[in-house]
Amino acid sequence: MNNGEIRVLTLRRLLDDNFAGSRLLRGLAESLNDASLKNYFQNLASRRSQFAIELGEEIHFYTGKKVPASSTHWIKKWEEPGRTGKNKCLKNALRAKKLSLQKYQEALCRIHDGSCREVLLRHKAYLENCIFELKALKSLLKYSAKTEDQLDEIHSTS
């Protein structure tokens, strides 16, 4: 395979990953009751869809062919229909973001073209920021639950 074919194949894999990530995040958003977390996950999903579109434009630039929306990846349902806990949603989103970050790091090892590389670096930086935010949200929820338990204990002994 020549360098151009490797670049296009790598970009297609990232495009599929972004569409799959967007679907996962939308599904997680639908399973939440908390409006602020639901909005947060919807914004993350929207951003991943935008990344897929940008990658499609890069593929179009290099191949001259329009890239159809990918439907090759289906999201495995981890939960039965219904509501999912906040912690479980954050854990699933964090796992997905880490896997996506790893795919971007591998892609950056294969792609060395200026404009394409800049797009990938920007996406990678966003994913790193999302991982940081999700970890912070996870620890905040853990702290909040611990504080609520302590308050319940104080009220029950009074």
Confidence at residue 70, expressed as pLDDT on a 0 to 100 scale:
58
Q: Rounded to an integer, what distance in angstroms lies between the CA atom of residue 29 and that of residue 75?
A: 14
Q: Which letter does DSSP use for residue 31 in this model?
A: T
Burial class (CB in 10 A: 0-12, 13-18, 19+), 100: buried
Confidence at residue 72, expressed as pLDDT on a 0 to 100 scale:
52
Confidence at residue 141, expressed as pLDDT on a 0 to 100 scale:
85
In the numeric block, the tokens 């914004």 are attached to 43
Residues of the chain with pLDDT under 50: 73-82
Confidence at residue 104, expressed as pLDDT on a 0 to 100 scale:
97
Q: Are 24 and 92 in contact (CB under 8 A)?
A: yes
Confidence at residue 81, expressed as pLDDT on a 0 to 100 scale:
40
Confidence at residue 84, expressed as pLDDT on a 0 to 100 scale:
66
Confidence at residue 95, expressed as pLDDT on a 0 to 100 scale:
95
Q: Rounded to an integer, what distance in angstroms lies between the CA atom of residue 44 and that of residue 94?
A: 12
